[in-house]
Homo-oligomer: A and B are copies of this chain.
Amino acid sequence: METLQGGGALKHEREAPMRIRPIEPRDRERILEIVTATGNFTPVEIATAMEVVDEALADPAHPRGDYRAFVLEDERSHVAGYECHGPTPLTEGTYDLYWIAVDPACQGSGFGRALLAFAEQDVRATGGRLLLIETSSQESYGDTIRFYEKSGYPLAARIKEFYRQGDDKLIFAKRLTGDTALVPE
């Protein structure tokens, strides 16, 4: 299942029309724009995000690729966000959500939740049972952290001082079994 029509499978209170589809080369520039616009990432982090995008673009059709990236188009067919996930090496059924970002101008439209629900659905479709999300404990990530918690991702682990002094790594985890593929709430 490679696309998801807004208003169909997902049940959100406030949901704008949308469509989620696999990434294409023409999306690259727009994704760079979105990642930069969020204001959350350093230049090195942005470069890493784009490396992951390029990995996904190198083999976009592979259903079991290491990096699977999808973009969300709004009602004007304009790309408003993207997510990238893939199987965690050396595990059986564990996946990482490597990146998820929505244009700040579109936030509050339920796009982030739709992208996350789509990633979960895709992970389950390829036999995944556990989805992990790593993020920083920095205050600027407060909204992001609350978003994950509200989406059913409790904090699974914290590695103190991981990124730098005073900046921990937080690992959120959701078990994907039975009927938990849709965002609860």
Contact = CB atoms under 8 A, between A and B. Distances in A.
A87 B95 CA distance: 23
Interface string A151-179: 00000111111111100000101010000
Contacts of A162: 88, 91, 94, 130
Interface string A30-41: 000000000000
A157 B140 CA distance: 23
Q: Identify which of A44, A161, A165, A173 gathers the most chain B CB atoms within 10 Å of its CB.
A: A161
Contacts of A130: 161-162
Interface residues of A, number: 26
Given A130-B161, A130-B162, A161-B130, A90 B45 contact: yes
A110 interface: no
A48 interface: yes
